[in-house]
Every structure is written in structure tokens, then in C-alpha cells.
């Protein structure tokens, strides 16, 4: 009971209802989603990533195929492998057991597709996308996600991706709080309604898209870019 109350306080009632709804209702039947897009404050996050000599956690880039698959399962990463290009997995583990992932996050470059929702984000050469973040309950509330985010952003920035974005559902209170704290600005909002294969995608703010409708969400998605 206390765990449920804690989740409601952190994420909000609407977020929990949406999670439950999406588990029950199949993707092909109906989906509704709203996400606020934030541009992360790269400089501030890089300062947060400075290592501590007293740390019992380690942060790493995941390279090996079997480790990447483990991280995909850990973070509930359902983005189709065949649609990702040069994505990078970042994991957090106990310092003495680096092969035991306690959570992770993914960095997408070039493009990122939400096949179930019928849109694709197309990035400029210096842009990247953070998605599919997850942290085990055992290490939550200790700043673990902030440090993992800082580690991921620092690596992406070192590769030349200086403009880094994340999308957060507005009713996920805990996630909004964290990402607003480490953001330069709110870019805009993406809103999607999907009924069977008919999909309508709307936007606000400075986001740009090529059209509003598609009836082939998986093969002909609406294209977004961030000017």
C-alpha cells in the first residue's frame, strides 16, 4: 500500500493509469501519448558527472551484444533494433559487480522512431536524444539517475553531440522535476492519437513536422525535427 502511495506521489495518478492502460490495451488498437521535449543543460550535467572516490556505483558504456540485449530488457527498450542507428547504451552497476546492471539509459543519434506512435525524430549532426531510462528501486532517491544522465550526456557531448534532448510525459511528476532542473529550455510538446493504423500527430513550440496524419505508422511515420 505504501509503495503504491509513493508511486502516485512521484509519478501522478494519470501516469499510473496510462501505464496500466498500455499494458492491457494492445498497441494496434489504441494509443494516446503526450510528451514535453526539453533541451538538456550539457555544461551543468558535465559538472555533475565528476567521479567520486567514495562511490559504490560505476557508470559504463555498453558495447557487447549480449550486454546491450541485457540493457534493452532492463530499460524496457522496445525501439526496434532495425530502426536505430548508432545508438549508445549507458548502464549503472555496483562498483564490485559491473556486469550486474541496476539501470540504464540510451542515447540516440541520426534518428529515433516511435513506431507504435507513428513518428520519427530526425536529428542534425550535433543533436542527440536520450530515451528509455530506468533505475532499480534499490538505488532510487540517491541521485543515481541524475549521475547516469550526466555520464551519458558527457559522453555524447565528447562525440560532438552538443544539443541533447529528452521527452517527458507532463504528468510524470518525478521525471519532470529532474529534467526541468537540468534543462536549458522546454522546446515544445508532441501529442499523438492512434486508432488502429490511423495516427494523428500534433506539436507545439519550436518543433517542426512534415505532416499531421499517417495510416502507416510503422513504415511511413510523421517526421519531426528540432530547429
What is the pLDDT, as a whole number, of residue 86? Answer: 80
130, part of any domain: yes
Number of domains in the chain: 1
- Across the chain, mean pLDDT equals 88
Task: Please state, in angstroms and rounded to a whole number, the distance separating the CA atoms of residues 53 and 96.
Answer: 14
Q: Provide the CATH number for the domain around residue 74.
A: 3.40.630.30
pTM attached to this predicted model: 0.87
3, part of any domain: no
Q: What percent of the chain has pLDDT over 90?
A: 66
112, part of any domain: yes
28, part of any domain: yes
User: The dihedral of CA 34, 92, 113, 223: what is its sign?
Assistant: positive
- From the list 61, 103, 66, the residue with the least C-alpha distance to 86 is 61
Quickly tell me which residue has 539501470 as its cell: 103
Task: Please state, in angstroms and rounded to a whole number, the distance separating the CA atoms of residues 47 and 16.
Answer: 33
What is the pLDDT, as a whole number, of residue 80? Answer: 66
5, part of any domain: no
Residues 6+ apart with CB under 8 A from 205: 37, 186, 187, 188, 189
151, part of any domain: yes
25, part of any domain: yes
212, part of any domain: yes
Residue 82 pLDDT grade (very low, low, confident, very high; cuts 50, 70, 90): low
Q: Structural domain of residue 65, as residue ranges?
A: 10-225
What is the pLDDT, as a whole number, of residue 7? Answer: 46
Q: Is the pLDDT of residue 11 over 60?
A: no
Amino acid at each position: 500500500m505504501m509503495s503504491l502511495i509513493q508511486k502516485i506521489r512521484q509519478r501522478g495518478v494519470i501516469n499510473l493509469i496510462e501505464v496500466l492502460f498500455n499494458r492491457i490495451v494492445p498497441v494496434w488498437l489504441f494509443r494516446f501519448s503526450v510528451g514535453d521535449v526539453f533541451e538538456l543543460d550539457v555544461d551543468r550535467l558535465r559538472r555533475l558527472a565528476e567521479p567520486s572516490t567514495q562511490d559504490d556505483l560505476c557508470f559504463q558504456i555498453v558495447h557487447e551484444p549480449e550486454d546491450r540485449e541485457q540493457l534493452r530488457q532492463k530499460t524496457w527498450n522496445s525501439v526496434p533494433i532495425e530502426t536505430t542507428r548508432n545508438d549508445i547504451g549507458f548502464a549503472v552497476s555496483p562498483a564490485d559487480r559491473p556486469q550486474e546492471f541496476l539501470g540504464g539509459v540510451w542515447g540516440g543519434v541520426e534518428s529515433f522512431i516511435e513506431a507504435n506512435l507513428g513518428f520519427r525524430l530526425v536529428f542534425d549532426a550535433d543533436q542527440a536524444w536520450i530515451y528509455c531510462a530506468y533505475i532499480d528501486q534499490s538505488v532510487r532517491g540517491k541521485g543515481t539517475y541524475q549521475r547516469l544522465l550526466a555520464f551519458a550526456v558527457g559522453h555524447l557531448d565528447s562525440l560532438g553531440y552538443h544539443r541533447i534532448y529528452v521527452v517527458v510525459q507532463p504528468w510524470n511528476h518525478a521525471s519532470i522535476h529532474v529534467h526541468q532542473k537540468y534543462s536549458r529550455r522546454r522546446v515544445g510538446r508532441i501529442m499523438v492519437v492512434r486508432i488502429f493504423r490511423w495516427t494523428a500527430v500534433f506539436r507545439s513550440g519550436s518543433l517542426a513536422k512534415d505532416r499531421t496524419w499517417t495510416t502507416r505508422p510503422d513504415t511511413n511515420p510523421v517526421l519531426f525535427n528540432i530547429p
